[in-house]
Amino acid sequence: MLRTRKLTNESDEKLQVIELYEEAFPPKERMPFDLMLEISQLDNADLCSVYDDDEFVAFYLLIRNENLRYVSFLAVTPAKRGQGYGTKILNYIRENYADYDLILDEEPVDPEAPNIAQREARERFYTRNGFVSTGYIITAYGQDYEILNTGGDFDIEDYFNIFRSIGFNTFRPTVKKTPND
């Protein structure tokens, strides 16, 4: 059975989470881990380690505002990938925030990208889990990300409000519509 525990600076599993974070996300997509911990101390954010019984299997950072729940980071340990844990975690989040749309961003599928297979697999995973394109791609820190959500209507300002709610008041990436919209 899955259970979560809010991560703090004193958490026993902090080093496991850092190791997974560094393995799962390339440097250009990571924020300093201490900043993630600082964000998680806010009332509207949770940095959680995920356990299956007593075994550490994943972590996620979730940021909340009045309209949305933003899954900022989600990673499953290499030994547990492909075993349904990502789906279980998203379902857990969905159940706990049933009245809210979930959003996240991913690298867009680009046939020219060196990691095209990884991007396609990620998109299939999110599609299977009820996420659809919002029609927006943002460029932040030199990297493109497509915004996905689980709901119908999407307001790009709600996305920016998530970042303002954690003190990223000047975060204003370039925004463009996806080629299919």
Return the domain boundaries, the chain. 2-177
Model confidence at 63, pLDDT cuts 50, 70, 90, reads very high
Q: What's the rounded mean pLDDT across residues 141-162? A: 89
So what's the pLDDT on residue 180?
64
The token pair at 167 is: 């003190």
DSSP 11: -
pTM above 0.85, yes or no: yes
Instruction: Name residue 86's beta-bridge partners.
Output: none
Q: Which fold has domain 2-177?
A: Aminopeptidase (3.40.630)
Q: Give the C-alpha separation, 113 to 118, whole Å.
A: 10
Q: State the average pLDDT for the chain.
A: 91
Residue 58 confidence (pLDDT) above 60: yes
pLDDT band at residue 60 under the 50/70/90 scheme: very high
Please state the rounded mean pLDDT for residues 124-151.
Answer: 92
Question: What is the per-residue pLDDT for 181?
Answer: 57
